[in-house]
Amino acid sequence: MDPGHLALRRVERHQRLVERLHAARGRRVEIAELARELGVSTRTAARDVERLRLSGVPIETRQGRHGGVSLRAAGSVTVTLDFPEVAALLASLATLGPTVSDSAAAAMRTLAEAIQDLSGDR
């Protein structure tokens, strides 16, 4: 399989994983459950969680009985980006596919509206 295609699938899976943890509202979700929902092995799900955690996503993991994975953040985030940063994110979302997940579609709309507001085109 094409490495680029695999990377896109991983990004899609990471988005679904974060959305799933967010929906759990701080409750821990077992890695095995995440793996089943994502259609991957438990090892792949654990690697995905670790990649996201290392990239700065506030994920907490707990081993053992009553263990699992949870997302520490649950609210909205306010970020200030300049035009090239917004354009870079829009380009990334366009490459991935803005409708790959509800979060991606919402982010695409929000970023596009921000650029429209900046340029005065409405």
pLDDT tens digit sequence for 104-116: 888 888 888 888 8
pLDDT tens digit sequence for 47-93: 999 999 999 999 999 988 878 999 987 677 888 888 899 889 888 88
Question: How large is the C-alpha radius of gyration of the chain?
Answer: 16
- For tokens 């996201």, name the residue: 52
HEC per residue, 62-81: ECCCCCEEEECCCCCCCCCC
Write phi, then psi, for 17 (nearest 5 degrees).
-65, -45
